[in-house]
Amino acid sequence: MGISENFVLEMRSITKRFPGVLALDGVDFHCQKGSVHALVGENGAGKSTLMKILAGAYQPDSGEIILRGEKVEIRDPRNALHLGISIIYQESNLVPYLDAAQNIFLGKEPKGRFGRLKSEEIYKQATELVSRLGVSIHLKRPVHLLSVAHRQIIEIAKSLSYDAQILVMDEPTSSLPSKEVERLFAMVRSLKAHGVAIIYISHRLDEIFEIADMVTVLKDGKKVASLNVKEATKTNLIEMMVGRPLSDAFPSRSSQPVRKEALRTVDLTRKPFLDGVSFALGCGEIVGVTGLDGSGRRELGRAVSGDDPPERGEVYLFGKRVSCKSPRKTIRAGLAFMSDDRKSEGLIMGLSLLENISLPSLGFRLRGFVINRVREKKEVAKAAESVRLDCGFLKREAQYLSGGTQQKGVLAKWLLMDAKLIVLDEPTRGIDVGTKVEIYHLMRELANRGTAILMLSSELPEIIGMSDRVLVMRKGRIAREFKGGEPTEKDILTAAMMGVSET
């Protein structure tokens, strides 16, 4: 293959082995100057390994890297920076108690005679870098006081300070509110216009079709395809990532009649979020709740679980009225709540996955004040297997695991508590496509065994594909109810924006 003068980067036949694992198997990847090249695939597909080789964190076992037409060896991350390669990771690498400008120039501060820092020059140059991005932030404010979006701006400015010509962005929108995503895209387009090559890693396919020029799909350490985004569709990308037709993504709905009632709410109110919400959910049923941001969808889950107690109304679990003044009461009644923020509210990131899964049910394994470790390992392993969670992950800290593995761990935790009603808030947020399919099948298996599931989701294909009934919320109320398989995305959006339509 000849070298294109537009290729700022070519990675040829990159192979990387770890003990017992072939992480990359002869992968080819290239990126053009002034373009956005998306890199997609399931967790474990090889994306991170390939980018860590580009960043100098790993060395390939074989293959070569061509940078601006010349073969290079990237010895370490510092060497990668000097070659104009910068990576913005999903988790911030900023020093929280330094200010924005100090973070941008950390380790390369402008200095005068006798090594004295030129403070004024730091803020002058930082202002110039940030202005290139078309934004304005308080450069003298400590980073820990800044928003996630502003921290990301600092990360990008820091990359520009190294004169980065290749910028890797790993899940850049995963922690951003929707209003900040378009601002990020504007910055990406500006960088692209200035000739920067951007490698964009994301599970959110809608973003790829909006921002990327090319897309490369990896699966099981191999490149499946590289194609122009204009030639791709969401369906064929997903099918390449998971290796099976998209029609298999959602399991068949249950044909069994709904069993006894698991949950009933009567006039549930918590102003301004909820306004007289009444509905029922049966054992073995999956009810999907959707609506626009601010519709009350999220607050409904937190109200019935006791996380944010309602001001008025009644909640019945399995026929008995329950006080929702605290999660402790609803957990004892058999309800489990899986927050959309698993890192803050679902797991303790510094503990092992085994410890996380075991934590809520420790009392059942105590001998006096001593934990029965043998029983703990046996029961946790059984719960992990029930959600198809590799028991090899149990000893690892939660913070080092993929989003999909973390989510399975949270689900296993509540199954170990024998929860009969599970409230899932955005159950597949931040999870790769393949693991999404696994989660969907697990949800249906649980429902078929009699578990009641209340699924709160903003993803309409998920709502339509998984729900036995769909409740659409608007302004704190249930605006419309649909039978499973009945609504289209247009029907749901119409109800979400306009309320109950006349028929």
Residues in a beta bridge with 452:
421
pLDDT of residue 48: 87
pLDDT of residue 502: 38
Contact 471, 454 (CB under 8 A): no
Residue 43 to residue 435: CA distance in whole angstroms:
8
Residue 153 to residue 386: CA distance in whole angstroms:
42
pLDDT per position as a tens digit, 443-481: 999 999 999 999 999 888 889 999 999 999 999 999 999
Dig out the tokens for 43 from the structure. 């967790």
Query: Mapping DSSP to helix (H, G, I), strand (E, B) and coil, where does residue 433 land?
Result: helix
- Tell whether omega for the bond before 272 is within 30 degrees of 0, i.e. cis: yes
Residue 96 to residue 105: CA distance in whole angstroms:
14
Domains in the chain: ranges and CATH? 7-244 (3.40.50.300), 261-334+420-498 (3.40.50.300)
Residues in a beta bridge with 11:
29, 65
User: Would you report the helix, strand and coil content of the chain in percent, each value rounded to 5?
Assistant: 40, 25, 35
Residue 72, pLDDT > 90, answer: yes
Dig out the tokens for 5 from the structure. 């003068």
pLDDT per position as a tens digit, 332-387: 899 999 998 888 888 998 999 999 999 888 777 667 677 788 888 898 999 999 88
What value does the mean pLDDT take over residues 106-125? Answer: 76
Q: How confident is the model at residue 246 (pLDDT cuts 50, 70, 90)?
A: low
DSSP-derived letter for residue 276 is E
pLDDT of residue 293: 79
Residue 21 to residue 24: CA distance in whole angstroms:
9
Give the other-Cβ count within 10 Å of 109's Cβ. Answer: 16
pLDDT of residue 2: 41
Residue 271, pLDDT > 60, answer: yes
pLDDT per position as a tens digit, 162-194: 888 999 998 888 767 667 888 888 889 988 998
Residue 60 to residue 220: CA distance in whole angstroms:
17
Dig out the tokens for 94 from the structure. 């900023």
Contact 224, 238 (CB under 8 A): no
**Residues whose CB falls within 8 Å of the CB of residue 372, separated by 6 or more in sequence, listed in order:** 365, 366
Q: Strand runs (DSSP E) across 254-372, as ranges? A: 261-270, 274-282, 286-291, 312-317, 320-322, 335-338, 366-367, 370-371
Burial of 79 (0-12, 13-18, 19+ CB in 10 A): middle
Question: Global pTM?
Answer: 0.66
Short-list 339, 319, 344, CA closest to 420: 319
The full DSSP string for 444-465 is HHHHHTT-EEEEE-S-HHHHHH
4 vs 265: which has the higher pLDDT: 265
Burial of 309 (0-12, 13-18, 19+ CB in 10 A): middle
Q: How confident is the model at residue 5 (pLDDT cuts 50, 70, 90)?
A: low
What value does the mean pLDDT take over residues 310-332? Answer: 91
**Residues whose CB falls within 8 Å of the CB of residue 416, separated by 6 or more in sequence, listed in order:** 357, 358, 360, 361, 379, 380, 383
Residue 251, pLDDT > 90, answer: no
Burial of 302 (0-12, 13-18, 19+ CB in 10 A): buried
Contact 105, 118 (CB under 8 A): no
Total number of residues shown for the chain: 503
Rounded to the nearest integer, the mean pLDDT of the chain is 87
